[in-house]
Each structure stands twice: as C-alpha cells, then as structure tokens.
Chain A
Amino acid sequence: MEKVLVWNNPSKALFSAIAVVGLAFALCVMVYGMESIAPGVHDAFHDFRHTIGMPCH
C-alpha cells in the first residue's frame, strides 16, 4: 500500500510537512476570516466560522 505521509523518508517527510503546514495556515486564514491575506475568505466561510464557535463580527 502506498504511503503518502511518511515521516522516516526525508523528501516525503518534507513534502508532508509542507502540505500540513500549508493547510494549517489555510485553516487559520479561514477560521479567522483574514481578508488581508485572502480576499473573499471572510464572507465565504462566515457561517462556518460561527458554527464552530470562532469569534466573529
């Protein structure tokens, strides 16, 4: 079975780490509604943000 997140292989571990960190950053932008980083993200995920209990206006 192909492993897609492998921590003991340097190149795959780097790719995996970049993917997780990149999407973790995207998650932060989304849950905090940072318009300055991604225009439109505030309105696009406004209802989701409230639903999961993140403070909003």
Chain B
Amino acid sequence: MISKDGLAADLAAGVLWGWLSLFVNALTGVFTPEAGFVHDLGSFGLAGVINAFVAGGLLSLFMGHLPGRSVMLKAVTVSVILWLVLRAGAMMLSHIDPERYHVATWESLQGLLLAVLMGVLIGFGRRLVAGRRVPAHG
C-alpha cells in the first residue's frame, strides 16, 4: 500500500524525471528534438507522471516480493523491468512493422539509463516520505 504522501512523491519524481530526461537528451545529443522546448516540457512532464504512477503502483504491489531490503534498489528494479517490458513490446512492433518502428541503439541505451534514474528518483522520494513519518524522539 502507499500513502497520499508517497503517491505525491512518486508523481513529483515523475515530473522531475521527465524534465531530467529532456535535459539528459540535450546533453548527450542522442536524439534531436523535433518539437519546441515548451511543448516538450509539457509532454515530458506528463509522460514522466504517467510512467512514475505505473512504476510506483507496481512497486507498491510487488514491494514484499522483490529481492533486497533497500527501497531504492527495489524501485530501480521495477523501473528497469517496466522499461524492458515496454522495450520488448516495441521490438515486437518493430518486427511486425519495420518501416514504422526503427530501432536506435544509442536511444535504447539512453532509455535504459533513464529507467535507472527513474527508479533512483522514486526510491529517493519514498525514502523521504518514510523519513518524515518517523516520529522525532528526545
């Protein structure tokens, strides 16, 4: 289960991740954006929120079944698995319709690293919320 604060932390991590993705792509130059900066700011933010909601929901669902004790590690695992599942679906689409779906190796590598980054951000947010919940002693 997840608290309201945990959900808010996930969504905030999603917006941040979307914008960081835009920034990382601008730094690496792996893909030259075709839309304007303001449009991408909105679309990357929204896409980040949706991605983080799904990853956060799956993390909450499988929290007890994932290996390790660190929330950060679990969040990274879920985020990477989610990306791999989406990527596997994309590979199938690419196989069915190669004209429409072109595979780009460097973009894929960047996407995998961004999936790790999303897990780190979600894990960090969850840690922050868990830390705030611990009552102060003394």
Q: A46-B35, A48-B21, A55-B93 are in contact. Are A30 and B47 (CB under 8 A)?
A: yes
Size of the B side of the interface (Cβ < 8 Å), in residues, is 51
> Which residues of B have CB within 8 Å of A16?
57
A3 to B33, CA, bound (A): 39
| Majority secondary structure of chain B interface residues (helix, strand, loop or mixed) | helix
Are A52 and B54 in contact, CB atoms less than 8 angstroms apart?
no
Nearest A-chain residue to B5, judged by Cβ: A1
Are the C-beta atoms of B94 and A55 separated by less than 8 Å? yes
In B97-114, the 8 Å CB interface with A consists of 99-104, 107-112, 114
Query: Whole-angstrom distance from the CB of B15 to the nearest CB of chain A?
Result: 13
**Interchain CB contact under 8 A, B104 and A55:** yes
Known: A20-B61, A27-B51, A28-B89. A53 touches B102 (CB 8 A): no
The interface on chain A, measured as residues whose beta carbon lies within 8 A of the other chain's beta carbons, has a size of: 33
The complex places the Cα of A53 from the Cα of B40 at a distance, in Å, of 16
Q: Name the distance in Å between B105's Cβ and chain A's nearest Cβ.
A: 9
Q: B residues near A, CB below 8 A?
A: 1-5, 7, 18, 21-22, 24-25, 30-31, 33-35, 40, 43-44, 47, 50-51, 53-54, 57-58, 60-61, 83, 86-87, 89-91, 93-94, 99-104, 107-112, 114-115, 133
